[in-house]
Amino acid sequence: MDRTRVTVMLALLLVPMGGLEARLVHLQLLTTTETTYDLAMKRQSVEIVRPKRGEILDCKGRVLAKDEPCFDCYIVLEEYEAAPNPLASALKMTPEEFQQAIEGIYEKIEKQTHLRPQNERARIYRRERRTPYLLKKDIKDAALAIEVAPQRYPGAVVRESLMRVYPYKELFCHGIGYLGRVTANETKFRELLQNGYFFEGFEELIGQDGIAQLYRRGAFNEELIGVSALEKKYDATLRGKSGLVILEREAHTSASRTIEIKPADPGTSVELTIDIEVQRAVEKILAGTLLASAVVLDATDGSVVALVSNRSYDPNDFTPPGNSAAVRSALQDNENKPLLSRAFQDQFAAGSFFKVVTSIAGLEAKVVRADEVLYCRGKFDEKKTHFNCWIWNEFRGMHDRVTLHQALEKSCNCYYYEVGRRVGVEAISRWGRALGFGSPTGLDLPGEAGGRIPDQGREEDAMMLAIGQSHLMVTPLQAAVMMAAVANGGNRITPHLRRGNDAPPVPLQISADTLSEVRQGLYDVTHASSGTAHNTRLKEFKAVGKTSSAQADKGKESHAWFVGYAPYDAPKYVVAVFLKNAGHGGQMAAPPAAQILEALMGPKETPKK
């Protein structure tokens, strides 16, 4: 073997080494002028580029929320103060506002310097005064004025950015939600980093010093996240990932150059099952002095078609940099609670429509037959005055002979007192829970109320629960989910707003006989001459359902409900309408339900017969 070859190799390796040394001599000892010029004349800063947030679209592709380009004005303090100019009036800011904004920027600079070692402070202070800081967002026409004559406004820098816009304003605000700023601190930033708000490798790319610098400059204060509803729920999808650029500015001129290191990754759009025009129609139907809400679901897969609560707000008011805290506190003080959707975030007494659950419980437990005749004497028990049928309380009347169909049709309390007494709280509660009451339905929106259903109690509790009173509390959405199960053949659906987000329906093992008996009863409510909702236009749309007049607040009218579906021969839509303290369900809630169905299915000719 040839050991001299090893010596040859040493020589071979030393040659490129010499080359590198020569390059060092060339770079470090022979060329200096150009780079010293660079040093003096160029200012570089690392900046975060916001990604374009995904759009929210309704089922027909109409845009409910989008990012629109706008112009922001930044200010370089050193240049502005060297040559004060009428920038404030160009931006339509009062001198006080302008002064306040400038003081805000100085505060930020102060924050950066005060923790640094003494010897660095002056340098950082100088550097930051040469850094553009955000002065005003969305400056509209002023952008053109500054761009056209930059020499008139030294220190002003106009940059393009994005602004969240909700074109439909108040419409469906409870579903869409709004954005807010993240108050950045180190832990929050780490959390964002871990949740994938920045691209992978962000930390490695920019280095800790880079992060610290951005952090100190308040770059992460500007992070926008979804604060409520869909904007919050699908924030990770909508948001996209921030990019990084280097901004290189020539000192004393406004010439600048951006060098893209990592492009921003735009967010993904979210398509909804909502039809915004139906939503608009339903909101119009429910407009008025009464507090109301309505839910329209697809009976088979749980898609939400409309979700209405008739006191609303404009999510555009919350878009930063607006004073969202003031907007929010004003809305919170409003007695009608416009921030809250009564369709799924608030719960109410249910009343008679819960008799559907009691019927299913009774029939499935076989404690009562559909054709079994019970007698309503107006009063269930002479001694217990609070167990009266509504017909006694109002007309001192009685229903006399009632079967299940008639009990549903006429909403007879005495019949259900008896059924409740026979079947007990546990069985009713079990069916109630199975059909969607007592816990959130799983709608893909944050803050859903769960309602309340008693799980056990004495005989009297069972009787009260049987007619939907007692401690039972429900949301209109839960009522719709229950009715959907009746409509679609006994499957519990999960309501959802995002298209394609369907959870498979859960079969509840309700026997076909039970379902057909209950459906017949619901048919009679709207079609039979003594049905509680018979003289409405509901039958034009082949709608069936159950009314409810739930006693809630002492001394006030009862809550009016109508929960039903249409058409009865091929169920498509489930509609739940709720009016707070409005009166009788048949009078108050059934007519708007018919109007909603008209909006959904188009107007029908005058009813036959």
What is the residue whose two structure tokens read 């006030």?
556
CB of 7 to another protein, least distance (A): 7
CB of 234 to another protein, least distance (A): 24
Please report which helix (H) or strand (E) contains residue 407, including its range: helix 404-410
CB of 186 to another protein, least distance (A): 8
Size of the site for another protein (CB under 8 A): 50
CB of 3 to another protein, least distance (A): 6
CB of 78 to another protein, least distance (A): 17
Buried/exposed code over 343-362 (b: 16+ C-beta within 10 A; e: otherwise): bbbbbbbbbbbbbbbbbbbb
Per CB under 8 A, does 41 bind another protein?
Answer: no
- Give residue 609's identity as a one-letter amino acid code: K
Per CB under 8 A, does 217 bind another protein?
Answer: no
Segment lying near another protein (by CB under 8 A), choices 12-20, 287-295, 378-386, 560-568: 12-20
Q: Are 46 and 246 in contact (CB under 8 A)?
A: yes
- What CA–CA distance (Å, rounded) separates 399 from 397? 7
Residue closer to another protein (CB basis): 131 or 470 = 131
Which residues ranging from 153 to 192 are in contact with another protein (CB under 8 A)?
186
- What CA–CA distance (Å, rounded) separates 166 from 455? 43
Torsions phi, psi for 349 (to 5 deg): -65, 140
Count of Cβ atoms closer than 10 Å to residue 161 Cβ: 15
Under 8 Å CB-to-CB from 495, ≥6 apart: which residues? 295, 297, 302, 303, 304, 441, 442, 443, 477, 480, 481
CB of 211 to another protein, least distance (A): 10
Segment lying near another protein (by CB under 8 A), choices 16-24, 155-163, 526-534, 587-595: 16-24
For residue 67 the two structure tokens come to 């990012």
Per CB under 8 A, does 570 bind another protein?
Answer: no
The Cα-based distances of 86 to 64, 72, 80, 251, 308 in angstroms read 38, 17, 10, 21, 48
Residue closer to another protein (CB basis): 213 or 237 = 213
Count of Cβ atoms closer than 10 Å to residue 31 Cβ: 9
Nearest to 548, CA basis, from 582, 511, 598, 507:
582
The Cα-based distances of 291 to 155, 340, 411, 512 in angstroms read 53, 12, 24, 37
Segment lying near another protein (by CB under 8 A), choices 17-25, 137-145, 218-226, 409-417: 17-25
> Which of 183, 187, 208, 606 touches another protein by CB under 8 A?
208
Residue closer to another protein (CB basis): 209 or 605 = 209
Angle at 560 between CA 386 and CA 580, to 5 degrees: 105
Per CB under 8 A, does 204 bind another protein?
Answer: yes
Q: Are 519 and 568 in contact (CB under 8 A)?
A: yes
- Give residue 501's identity as a one-letter amino acid code: N
Which residues ranging from 237 to 266 are in contact with another protein (CB under 8 A)?
246, 259, 261
Per CB under 8 A, does 569 bind another protein?
Answer: no
Residue closer to another protein (CB basis): 78 or 557 = 78
> Which of 69, 201, 500, 603 touches another protein by CB under 8 A?
201
Q: How does strand 156-165 pair with strand 63-75?
A: antiparallel
Residue closer to another protein (CB basis): 82 or 205 = 205
Segment lying near another protein (by CB under 8 A), choices 5-13, 338-346, 397-405, 494-502: 5-13
Which residues ranging from 331 to 360 are in contact with another protein (CB under 8 A)?
none
> Which of 64, 123, 440, 477 touches another protein by CB under 8 A?
123
Q: Are 552 and 527 in contact (CB under 8 A)?
A: no
Residue closer to another protein (CB basis): 186 or 394 = 186
Which residues make up the interface to another protein (CB under 8 A)?
1-3, 5-10, 13-14, 16-17, 19-21, 23-25, 27-29, 31-32, 35-36, 38-39, 44, 46, 115-116, 120, 123, 186, 200-201, 204-210, 212-213, 216, 246, 259, 261
